[in-house]
Chain A
Amino acid sequence: MSQTITIDPVTRLEGHGKITIMLDAKGQVEDAHFHVTQVRGFEKFSEGRPFYEMPSLMARICGICPVSHLIASAKACEAIMSVRIPHTAAQLRRMLNLAQMVQSHALSFFYLSSPDLLLGMESDPVARNIFGVVAAKPELGRAGIALRRFGQHIIELLGDKRIHPGWVVPGGVTEPLAPAKRDEILAMLPEAYAGIAMALEAYKQIADTFKPEIEVFANFPSNYMSLINDDESIEFTDGALRLIDPKGNTIEDGITASKYTEVIGEAVENYSYTKFAYYKPLGYPEGSYRVGPLARLNIVKSMGTPKAEVELAAFKQLAKGPVESSFYYHHARLIEILYGIEKIEQILTDPLILDKQVRATAGVNRLEGAGQAEAPRGTLNHHYKVDENGLITWANLVIATGQNNNAMNKGVLQAARAYVKNGKFTEGVLNRVEAVVRTFDPCLSCSTHAFGKMPLALTLVNADGELVDQVIR
Chain B
Amino acid sequence: MSLPRARCLILACGNTLRGDDSLGPWLAQWAERRFQPESGVRVLARQQWAPELAEEVARAQSVLFIDCSIDSPPGSVRLLPVEPAVAQEGLATHHLGAPELLALGRELYNSLPCNAFLLTVGAGSTALGEDFSAAVTAALPEACDRLEATVSRLLSGQEPQEQPQHP
Interface residues of A (CB under 8 A from B): 11-12, 63, 107, 111-112, 125-126, 129-131, 134-135, 138, 141-142, 145-146, 148-150, 152-153, 163, 187-188, 191, 448-451, 453, 455-456, 473
Given contacts A149-B52, A152-B52, A451-B126, A456 and B90 within 8 Å (CB-CB): yes
In the bound complex, residues from chain B placing their C-beta under 8 Å from that of A453 are 90, 92
**Contact, CB under 8 Å: B92 / A188:** no
CA distance A321 to B48 in the complex (A): 43
For B48, give the chain A residue with the smallest CB separation.
A448
Is the Cβ of B108 less than 8 Å from the Cβ of A141? yes
**Residues of A with C-beta under 8 A to B88:** 126
Q: Is the interface of B mostly helix, strand, loop or mixed?
A: loop
Beta-carbon contact of A450 and B95 below 8 Å: yes
Nearest chain A CB to B30 CB, angstrom units: 20
Count, chain B residues at interface, CB 8 A = 27
B38 at the interface (CB under 8 A from A): no
Q: A129-B91, A152-B52 are in contact. Are A138 and B108 (CB under 8 A)?
A: yes
A264–B55 Cα distance when bound, in Å, is: 45
Q: Which residues of B contact A473 (CB under 8 A)?
A: 89-90
Does B86 belong to the interface (CB within 8 Å)?
Answer: yes
Given A126-B88, A191-B1, verify A163-B47 contact (CB < 8 Å). yes
- A64: nearest residue on chain B (CB-CB)? B94
A449 and B47 in contact, given A126-B89, A129-B91, A145-B54 (Cβ under 8 angstroms): yes
B51 adjacent to chain A (CB < 8 Å): yes
Query: Known contacts A111-B93, A145-B52, A146-B1: does B87 contact A448 (CB below 8 Å)?
Result: no
Q: Do B104 and A131 touch across chains, with their CB atoms under 8 A apart?
A: yes
Chain B positions near chain A (C-beta within 8 angstroms):
1, 15, 18, 47-48, 51-52, 54-55, 70, 86-95, 100, 103-104, 107-109, 126
Contact B1 A112 (CB under 8 A): no
Instruction: Return chain A residues, CB-CB under 8 Å to B54.
Output: 145
Residue from B48, B51, B70, B109 within 8 A of A130 (CB atoms)? B51
Q: How many Å from the CB of B122 to the closest CB on chain A?
A: 15
* New A-B contacts (19) at CB < 8 Å, excluding given A107-B93, A111-B51, A450-B94: A111-B93, A126-B89, A129-B87, A134-B104, A134-B107, A135-B107, A148-B51, A148-B52, A149-B52, A149-B55, A150-B1, A152-B52, A448-B47, A449-B15, A449-B18, A450-B92, A453-B92, A456-B90, A473-B90
- Complex interface: chain A residues within 8 A of B103 (CB): 131
CB distance from A38 to the nearest CB of B (A): 15
A69, chain B: closest CB distance, angstroms? 17
User: Which residue of chain A has its CB nearest to the CB of B3?
Assistant: A149
A413 to B107, CA, bound (A): 39
Cα distance A191–B1 when bound, in Å? 7
List the A side residues contacting B51 at CB < 8 Å.
Answer: 111, 130, 145, 148
